[in-house]
Amino acid sequence: MTSEVNEVAVPETPVVETPVYLVYPRRFYVLFVFSFLSFNQCMMWLTFSPIERHAEAYYSINDSTIDLLLNWGPIIFIPCLPLTSLLLNTADGLRYGVLILAITDFIAALIRILPSIIFQRTSPNFDTIALPFIHVGQILNAACGPLVMAPVSQISSVWFAPHERTRATTIAVLSNNFGSAIAFLISPYLVDEPDHVPRLLYLHFGLAFAACVFTLISFPARPPSPPSAAAELLSTNAIGTEREHSRRTFLRDIKTCFTNPAFVLLSTAGGLIYGMFGAWTGLYDFLFQRLGYSETFAGKRRTKNV
């Protein structure tokens, strides 16, 4: 007798391949360039507060003008932040944002030093000519504020592996605060009398020029391949479509955020902490002046407390 065997087709189990993510040494260069730019931006923002008394004498201005030069930071930050958000959510927005940051800060440093290059301090119209240049330079530098604060998490996500993101984010954030610490430390030493104010402006111009050159040499939008699943998601077409949609509903999303109690409490707490620290940073020399201490002493005390 012949036995019949029924053959049953068994579906093959699909083999799921685990994606391989690579990191590239270039990520450290990208982090260095961005941190350098962030460091410079904060140093330039605090140009005149650590040397308030000498700056007042050099430009024939009062402390109210010094405060305004400092306050251009938060004033210009408010309208520029939404624009920065839109820029970072476009194709290659991170690269374009950093390029804008480098070039704008370089132009700001150049504009501030031009009056001291073209005119003599003893010229009768020096104060009238120099002050608008200083204001324009500070405004341009203030417009760079969102460009050094907003892209931090995006840089760490796009370029670094998951276990490296915390360190990369920390370095990028602290570089801005480090700029304020160094500004209060070295500015009083470079400017020990009013006529030495241009020394500090030349230093900022040199740093801004170097940072701009580093950025123009190489600052790619992304690595050749993503270092993580999050970075891969950011580079897909689906996220690009979602970003297009987010731009169309930008105002509605903002309204949703500000009607969410959790978001309002979190943003208020963060704003108060950072705002109070920023105000204390800018007014530290002013407070010590009322107590009869020198700018050098204020710089030392402030640096130790950072």
pLDDT band at 148 (very low <50, low <70, confident <90, very high): very high
User: Residue 9 pLDDT > 80, yes or no?
Assistant: no
Query: What helix, strand, coil percent values describe the chain, rounded to 5?
Result: 75, 0, 25
DSSP 154-199: HHHHHHS-GGGHHHHHHHHHHHHHHHHHHHHHHHHHH-SSGGGHHH
Q: Is residue 268 very low, low, confident or very high in pLDDT (cuts 50, 70, 90)?
A: confident
The pLDDT of residue 74 is above 90: no
Enumerate helices (H) and strands (E) in the chain, giving the number of each. Answer: 14, 0
Question: How far is 23 from 225, CA to CA, in rounded Å?
Answer: 8
What's the pLDDT at 170? 92
CATH number of 26-305: 1.20.1250.20
Tens digits of residue pLDDT in 120-145: 888 888 888 999 999 999 999 999 99
Amino acid residing at 24: Y
d(CA 151, CA 164) in angstroms, rounded, equals 16
Q: Three-state DSSP class for 292?
A: coil
Cite the beta strand spans of 105-170 per DSSP E: none
Cβ-based neighbour number of residue 226 at 10 Å = 21
Q: How far apart are CA 194 and CA 207, in angstroms?
A: 22
Q: What is the mean pLDDT of residues 198-222?
A: 94
d(C-alpha 23, C-alpha 224), whole Å: 9
pTM: 0.80
| pLDDT per residue as tens digits for the range 163-189 | 889 999 999 999 998 998 898 888 888
CA–CA separation, 148 and 250 (whole Å) = 21
What is d(CA 204, CA 210) in angstroms, rounded to the nearest whole number?
Answer: 10
DSSP structural state of residue 196: G
Identity at 250, one-letter amino acid code: F
CA distances from 284 to 51, 76, 88, 274, 280 (A): 11, 22, 34, 15, 6
Residue 66 contacts residue 48 (beta carbons within 8 Å): yes
- Calculate mean pLDDT across residues 82-107: 90
CB-CB contact of 212 with 106 (8 Å): yes
Q: Tokens representing 37?
A: 């730019």
Greatest alpha-carbon span in the chain: 122
Q: What percent of the chain has pLDDT over 90?
A: 36
Cβ 191 vs Cβ 200: under 8 Å: yes
pLDDT at residue 222, rounded to an integer: 87
Q: Could you write out the DSSP letters of every residue in 9-71?
A: PPPPPPP-PPPP----THHHHHHHHHHHHHHHHHHHHTSSSTTHHHHHHHHT--HHHHHHHHH
Amino acid at site 90: T
What does the domain layout of the chain look like in residue ranges? 26-305
- pLDDT per residue as tens digits for the range 217-248: 999 988 888 888 777 777 664 445 445 555 56
